[in-house]
Amino acid sequence: MIDHVSLQVADLERAGAFYDAVLRPLGLVRMVERPGTIGFGKRYPELWLNLRAGGVTATSDPGAHVALRAPSEDAVRELHATALAHGGRDAGAPGPRVASMTTYFGAFVLDPDGNKLEAVNFARPA
């Protein structure tokens, strides 16, 4: 249903470096770089950073978030720790979560521009 997501950033170079590190545990890499935009993905760009100089930075909760699938609980932990080490803020430590239809392992972070990300891993039945 959803093809890609775009996030507003105030400093493209800073955001690009943050996402280079943070998305690595999920297997997402920088695929496209053009003036004012960077695209990350596995086979094609699914997450875009778009420069919006002078844009408003969200403070504590932007009211929306982007959830990205992680291949393992360790990848969720690694994304969270990497985000904090690269200027992100904690918005929910790694741990089990209960959703309306399932349980999963997840973590939330805010990037330096206040965009909220969630890393999620759905355990496979034994």
Give yes or no for a contact between 25 and 121, defined as CB atoms under 8 angstroms apart. no
Rounded Cα gap, residues 19 and 14, in angstroms: 9
Q: Is residue 81 part of a domain?
A: yes
Q: Is residue 93 part of a domain?
A: yes
Give yes or no for a contact between 107 and 92, defined as CB atoms under 8 angstroms apart. yes
Domains of the chain: total: 1
Residue that has been written with the tokens 């399932």 in this structure:
102
Percent of the chain past pLDDT 70, that is, above it, reads: 93
Please give the pLDDT value at position 56: 66
In this prediction, residue 55 has a pLDDT band, given cuts at 50, 70 and 90, of: low
Hey, what's the torsion of the CAs at 125, 76, 61, 6, to 10 degrees? -100
Q: Is residue 59 part of a domain?
A: no
Q: Which residue has the higher pLDDT, 104 or 124?
A: 104
Q: Is residue 105 part of a domain?
A: yes
Q: Is residue 102 part of a domain?
A: yes
Strand, helix or coil for residue 41: strand
Q: Is residue 58 part of a domain?
A: no
Q: Which domain holds residue 108?
A: 5-52+64-121
Please give the pLDDT value at position 7: 96
Q: Is residue 111 part of a domain?
A: yes
